[in-house]
Amino acid sequence: MRKTLLAAALALPILGSAAAAEDTIKIGYIDPLSGGGASVGEVGLKTFQFLAEELNTKGGVLGKKVEIVPLDNKTNPQESLIQAQKAIDAGVRFITQGNGSSVAGALSDFVTKYNERNPGKEVLYFNYAAVDPVLTNEKCSFWHFRWDANSDIKMEALTNYMKSTPSIKKVYLINQDYSFGQSVRSQAKAMLAAKRPDIQIVGDELHPLLKISDFAPYVAKIKASGADTVVTGNWGQDIALLLKAAADAGLKVNWYTYYAGGTGGPTAIKQAGLNHQVFQVSEGLANLEHQSSRDFEKAFRAKYDFGLFYPRAVNQMRMFAAAADKAKSTDPVKVAQALEGMTFEVFDGGEGVMRKDDHQFFQPIYISSLGERSEKEPFDEEKTGWGWRLVAKIDTPQTMLPTTCKMERP
């Protein structure tokens, strides 16, 4: 009898944890939590944890609690695959990642091959920030969905704005030396040549990803080139340290960026005195006159000491819940089928659509500049007193570029 009771007592925690697991949807967050990308990885983790809490407060997803499982990939593709397998072994069937398109490519291939080998145990990959166009073109996968605009869409928006700025005469390109940075440089050159052939490219620099601690030599080259404008896709410490070096050198040019709003960027911009001279292309900004997103921003900043970097993450998590509700299931295959072609009211207002052809999400795109605020702009960045101001908006239909994806569906 004692042995029977002891066995039953030992079994209870196991049964309890299994029951708890069935009532929990785990999302594996695979991004850098150490190394050069940690500053953005930590921000992303806290953002997803906040969004999970938002869903759980409303009853979760189909009554199930959402849990974010942090997995440090050190911005390394091979380490990311180890972490993905670790997540799957722990019962995770949804993973999300955003920092590094080389990582994204590896994860997309891994998930696609895993699902082919493991029918009935499929995994979905939600991409919130890796923007190499190949991920929704020649390397597209049914198991990959992207909520950020790809780099071609962003460059199309930036160059359309730049072409109507006659003061731009000499442009310097500086980018990270991997697939995304190479895409930014090639598209910047091609699109500027087509839209403003009078603009001279006076520098075209590639540097190692998240390895440079001092950008002073690079800034010296920019100054020597006579450039009046810099175009960069740099992110993480590579944009913050680049802007810091520009501030230290007194470099006074206009900047057209993808990620100047990342950790340390606004502080460096203020130190450089670049009042509304640094532009960023994004899917949203804090100071838009849109009440529900401002309410979210206020609550988010009350909890954390930074603003919302990733409106696209909000769209991703809310659309995941909507897809599960539509499918009446959290099975990854059914969720994927529900996401295909889904239209959705996006975080900052307006309609977005997840294109079925390639699983690229399209949404309004904004160009903003950082500087002194008006009374209608309540949010500053990094306690600088400066905030983002809207300078241009591109509606969803105008962001849609064609795809070469040939989707293979299960």
**Domain annotation for the chain: domains and CATH numbers:** 2-149+293-362 (3.40.50.2300), 152-282 (3.40.50.2300)
pLDDT at 3 over 60: no
pLDDT at 403 over 70: yes
What's the confidence (pLDDT) of residue 23? Answer: 87
Residue that has been written with the tokens 């040939």 in this structure: 406
pLDDT at 10 over 80: no
Q: What angle do CA 285, 129, 282 make, to 5 degrees?
A: 25
Name the pLDDT band for 13 (thresholds 50, 70, 90). very low
65-72 and 24-31: which strand pairing? parallel
User: HSE of 113 in the Cβ direction (CA atoms, 13 Å)?
Assistant: 10
What's the confidence (pLDDT) of residue 7? Answer: 43
CA–CA dist 104, 90 (Å, integer) = 21
Average pLDDT over residues 144-149: 98
For 283-328, write each residue's pLDDT tens digit: 999 999 999 999 999 999 999 999 999 999 999 999 999 999 999 9
Residue percentage of the chain with pLDDT more than 90: 94
Residue 270 token pair: 């203020």
Name the pLDDT band for 378 (thresholds 50, 70, 90). very high
CA–CA dist 368, 279 (Å, integer) = 5
Average pLDDT over the chain reads: 94
What's the confidence (pLDDT) of residue 21? Answer: 53
For 105-136, write each residue's pLDDT tens digit: 999 999 999 999 999 999 999 999 999 999 99
Q: What angle do CA 404, 106, 70 make, to 5 degrees?
A: 125
CA–CA dist 295, 290 (Å, integer) = 9
